[in-house]
């Protein structure tokens, strides 16, 4: 097998700050074609037939295996299947290993199909998008699972695309409780080439977009968790040995782009005025976890909180 392509420090910092990494057209065309063949075609609806029945039939016929949770991720698929080949791609193997350590464990997978308007018309149902949600059961821990979204064919805006809002992943919410958040400033829709990959922190807020095109839209999701240490597993060659303490607030020039501190303290457009600071605090805490450096700080956000008289006296 080709050596896994480990993520860089800046890629992992971006994942920590924004909750996702996107790699466009990262999967070979022949794997995409093989996957679509194994997934099978969606047949036309019969009058009155509900979409979920057609979807269930497609899942049953698909040449994608059922896999029980707890399996070693890299042994979950037959080696010559499209998904087996996908998992051996250096970008995929390296991405999972960088974020989940050497022995990621399979949680679940799913073939998401978003149906064109005629399927909803046949069932006399409205063609609507999926409400915004987080794939959580309220998850208060520091660690995280990774969800890989694989887009095996090109996705146009008309086809909807998976919608997600960068930077929402550190919010501890309860799955569909956020369904009222229809739209957010800065939300993104996955319009992409075939073979595009999204590595997601499992906490990112997302939902399936409504499909107005003639063609069914496929997205395959694989969720995995760590079974070993998930920290310091990326390519550490570019990890700065010491974080730079730079001037804050009163500054005479724009911050140097692409430093860890800049990545961790770049706000998203939907951040609230006051809790925007808490976003930075939580990103820095996650970076401490990922780097195993409990003293790390960016722009004094945690030092200011920790340097209380009580804490000083306790030393």
Partner 1 sequence: MTALRQKVLVLYLKSSALDSPVTAWAQYDGTGQTLHMAGDEDEPPYPTGVAALKDGWRLFQASQLLPHARGEEFDLAYLKYEFLFEQLMEVDR
Q: List residues near partner 1 by CB under 8 A.
A: 126, 128-132, 160, 163, 170-173, 177-185, 187, 189, 207, 209-210, 269-275, 278-279, 281-282, 305
Q: Which is nearer to partner 1, 98 or 211 (CB)?
A: 211
Q: Which residues contact 3 (CB under 8 A, 6 or more apart)?
A: 90
Of the two residues 85 and 169, which places its CB atom closer to partner 1 in the complex?
A: 169
d(CA 48, CA 69): 35
C-beta of 182 vs 228, nearer to partner 1 = 182
Strand (E) positions, 7-118?
A: 20-23, 105-114
Phi first, then psi: what are they for 143, rounded to 5°? -75, 175
Question: Which residue, 29 or 121, is less far from partner 1 as judged by CB?
Answer: 121
Instruction: Give the nearest distance from C-beta 163 to partner 1 in angstroms.
Output: 4
CA separation for the pair 83, 193 (Å, rounded): 18
Residue placing its CB nearer to partner 1 in the complex, 85 or 133: 133
> In whole angstroms, how close is the CB of 215 to partner 1 at the nearest point?
19
Burial per residue of 48-68, b for 16 or more beta-carbon CB atoms within 10 angstroms, e otherwise: eeebeebbeebeeeeebeebe
Min separation Cβ 301 and partner 1, Å: 10
Q: 210 or 219, CB closer to partner 1? A: 210
In whole angstroms, the minimum distance from the beta carbon of 272 to partner 1 comes to 5
How far is it, in rounded angstroms, from Cα 75 to Cα 217? Answer: 27
Smallest gap, in angstroms, from Cβ of residue 6 to partner 1?
29
CB of 30 to partner 1, least distance (A): 32
Closer residue to partner 1, CB minimum distance, 107 or 297: 297
Query: Shortest distance, CB of residue 36 to partner 1, whole angstroms?
Result: 25
Give the number of C-alpha atoms closer than 13 A to the C-alpha of residue 130, restricted to the C-beta side.
Answer: 21
Nearest to 216 by CA among 22, 51, 49, 38: 51
Q: What CA–CA distance (Å, rounded) separates 163 from 75?
A: 30
| Residue 224, CB-side half-sphere exposure with 13 Å CA sphere | 30
CB 111 within 8 A of CB 39: yes
């Amino acid at each position: 097998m080709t050596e896994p392509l480990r993520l860089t420090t800046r890629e992992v910092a971006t994942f920590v700050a924004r909750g996702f990494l996107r790699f466009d057209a990262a999967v070979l065309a022949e794997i995409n074609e093989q996957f679509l063949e194994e997934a099978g075609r969606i047949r036309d609806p019969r009058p009155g037939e509900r979409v979920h029945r057609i979807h269930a039939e497609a899942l049953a016929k698909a040449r994608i295996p059922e896999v029980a949770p707890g399996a070693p991720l890299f042994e979950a698929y037959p080696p010559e299947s499209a998904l087996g080949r996908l998992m051996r791609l250096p970008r995929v193997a390296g991405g999972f290993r960088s974020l989940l350590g050497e022995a990621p464990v399979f949680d679940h997978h799913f073939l998401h199909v978003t149906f064109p308007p005629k399927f909803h018309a046949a069932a006399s149902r409205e063609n609507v998008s999926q409400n915004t949600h987080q794939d959580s059961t309220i998850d208060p821990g520091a660690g995280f699972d990774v969800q890989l979204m694989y887009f095996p064919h090109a996705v146009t805006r008309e086809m909807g695309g998976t919608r997600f809002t960068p930077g929402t992943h550190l919010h501890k919410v309860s799955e569909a409780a956020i369904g009222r958040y229809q739209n957010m400033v800065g939300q993104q829709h996955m319009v992409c080439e075939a073979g595009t990959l999204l590595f997601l922190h499992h906490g990112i807020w997302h939902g399936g977009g409504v499909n107005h095109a003639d063609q069914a839209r496929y997205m395959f999701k694989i969720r995995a968790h760590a079974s070993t240490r998930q920290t310091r597993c990326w390519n550490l060659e570019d990890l700065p040995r010491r974080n730079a303490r730079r001037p804050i607030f009163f500054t005479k020039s724009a911050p140097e782009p692409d430093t860890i501190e800049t990545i961790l303290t770049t706000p998203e457009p939907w951040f609230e005025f006051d809790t925007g600071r808490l976003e930075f605090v939580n990103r820095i805490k996650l970076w401490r976890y990922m780097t195993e450096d409990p003293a790390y700080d960016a722009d004094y956000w945690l030092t200011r909180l920790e340097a209380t008289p009580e804490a000083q006296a306790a030393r």
